[in-house]
Structure 1
Amino acid sequence: MADEREKFAQRLVHAMQQAGYEPRPIVLFHLFNAKYRGSSVTFQTVSRWLRGRALPEQDKLQVMADLLGVEPHALRFGVSPRSRVAEARPPWPAGAGSRERQVVEAFLQLPPKKRELVGELVKALSESA
């Protein structure tokens, strides 16, 4: 069972890195609790997930998978090479951390007119740099 938890932790760390997040307990703690609709999990619980000391319950696994853009089954059990169908997600550029990912996610939640306005602002700022 310990090996199973350690492998899960490795997949969780990898999924966080691929999604542009630092694989640190404090990062996952804040991300998870901001999205999870049940009772908040503790910092210690999240730390145990990342260190391979515990496995999350299914409802929590689903939230983590949604946050990180992976399938819950793949996060929990891994993916066998022959059963993988989805395209690999490109990693975030070097230097892009969790703050940048949060900004992009907030941008994607904006209505189209506000997105356009933000796009114009970013363009103007990048031209003046």
Structure 2
Amino acid sequence: MNRKLEFSKRLSTALLQAGYKAEAAVLEREFNLRHYGKPMTLHGVNKWLKGESIPPYEKIITLAEWLGVPPDELMFGLGIKQKVEQERKRWDEEIGYQERELFEAFLALPAAQKKVVREVILAFKKAHSQ
């Protein structure tokens, strides 16, 4: 689905959960009370709610602080955060000291040798997947 529409859904949900109506007039008034930069117009915030635009990062921060939602969650949703956490968990659980030692040795290699090692590993992966 469209990133702008997804953002608008998350914004509307955050507004409702914070006890506000998901309406442009409410969003404009409350946002401008809290944001110290250029104020938003009714038309501008309406575009956020309709999924026509996404605010710049400094305005995401103001929204997140006001609505009590982490800015990354407001901007990207929980799906990405959960996916990253699962990948980290996998690395933490599945990689033992021998693999860590191997990665440290790899990182210490010069660039040309890293390239050779990478190509060998990818060749093994390709052969294994066939």
In the alignment, structure 1 residue 51 sits paired with structure 2 residue 60: no
The Cα RMSD (Å) is 1.7
Q: Distance in 2 between matches of 1:47 and 1:56?
A: 11
Structure 1 consecutive aligned stretches of length 4 or more whose deviation exceeds 3 Å: none
Q: Distance in 1 between matches of 2:66 and 2:6?
A: 19
Equivalent pairs counted in the alignment come to: 83
* Structure 1 gap segments, 5+ residues each: 84-129
Q: Distance in 2 between matches of 1:36 and 1:15?
A: 17
- In the other structure, the counterpart of 1:3 is 2
TM-superposed deviation, 1:39: 1.4
TM-score when normalising by structure 2: 0.60
Identity %: 34
- In the other structure, the counterpart of 1:29 is 28
| CA offset digits 1:63-92 (Å, max 9, x no partner) | 001110000100000012734xxxxxxxxx
Q: Distance in 2 between matches of 1:23 and 1:67?
A: 14
Equivalent residue letter for 1:49: W
Q: Compare relative contact order (CA 8 Å, sep 6+) and give the higher one, 1 or 2.
A: 1
TM-superposed deviation, 1:41: 1.0
Alignment of 1:1-129 (within 5 A): 3-80=2-79, 82=82, 83=85
* Structure 2 gap segments, 5+ residues each: 86-130
Q: Distance in 1 between matches of 2:64 and 2:21?
A: 16
SS at match of 1:22: coil
TM-score when normalising by structure 1: 0.61
